[in-house]
Amino acid sequence: MPDLIRHPEASEVTGCRVKPGMTKIMIFHFYENINIYKFSEERMMLSDIEKKVIALIQGDLPVTERPYLEIAEKLGLGEEEVLGILQKLSDLGVMRRFGATLRHQKSGYRANAMVAWQVDEDRVEEVGEMLASFQEVSHCYRRNPAKDWPYNLYTMVHARDRKTCRDTAKRMAEKVSVSNYTLLFSKRELKKTSMKYFSAV
């Protein structure tokens, strides 16, 4: 089974509330600005320099060829030293993940649909991997169906218009031989902001 990761911003992308128990099969295909997702719940003592590094990476990274060098220069450090601090925080589990936030509207993908699929449980892994392989898909989740909602697998499809979303969903359905699905289109995109753990220097 691919890496299963909760995606805290899926509700912002889709306009649908993501409930506990959702699991993630596919990570973003698209990358625009970098956010830090979350820190360990354990109370760990961070040094002042570690806090300063975190403060400079918790928002958008500089759009340059060597963003970590620019961060290092602001702190009076070497690039390798900053990278070493980030690696240490990652190894300790303090910094869990670097994540990407897709600005759908700015990237030209004005139609976004959550496609809900009813898939036999013994095919969820197989079907999930096939659906996630589509270039138009940024997320693929499995969640428990409800009494009046039989769908148990969800994909987020991005396109330039709704017709293309529908056409993509049809192609996906044909590939995985699943006929029961529905499309839930996003009404609007909410503002995406990164968590702020420490004040910038």
Question: 63-101: per-residue pLDDT in tens?
Answer: 888 989 999 999 999 999 999 998 888 888 777 766 666
Domains: count for the chain: 2
Domain stop point among 48, 66, 96: 96
Helix (H, G, I), strand (E, B) or coil at 89: helix
Instruction: Spell out a b/e string for 125-143, using b for 16 or more CB atoms within 10 Å of the CB, else e.
Output: eebbebbbebebbbbbbbb
Range from 50-64, 95-109, 129-143 that averages highest in pLDDT: 129-143
pLDDT for 165 beyond 90: yes
Contact of 110 with 161, CB cutoff 8 Å: yes
Q: What is the pTM of this model?
A: 0.54
- Percent share of the chain, pLDDT over 90: 43
Range of the domain at 50: 39-96
pLDDT-derived band at 44 (thresholds 50, 70, 90) equals: low
Helix (H, G, I), strand (E, B) or coil at 135: coil
Residues 76 and 172 in one domain: no
- pLDDT given for residue 176 in this prediction: 97
For the segment 40-53, the average pLDDT, to the nearest whole number, is 72
- pLDDT given for residue 29 in this prediction: 28
Residues 65 and 158 in one domain: no
Domain stop point among 72, 96, 120: 96
pLDDT for 107 beyond 90: no
CATH code of the domain in which 62 resides:
1.10.10
- pLDDT given for residue 105 in this prediction: 62
State how far the Cα of 28 lies from the Cα of 26, in Å rounded to an integer. 7
Q: In the 8-state DSSP scheme, what is residue 19? A: P
Segment among 73-77, 169-173, 197-201 with least mean pLDDT: 197-201
Flag whether 17 is in a domain.
yes
- Phi and psi torsions of 42, nearest 5°: -70, 145
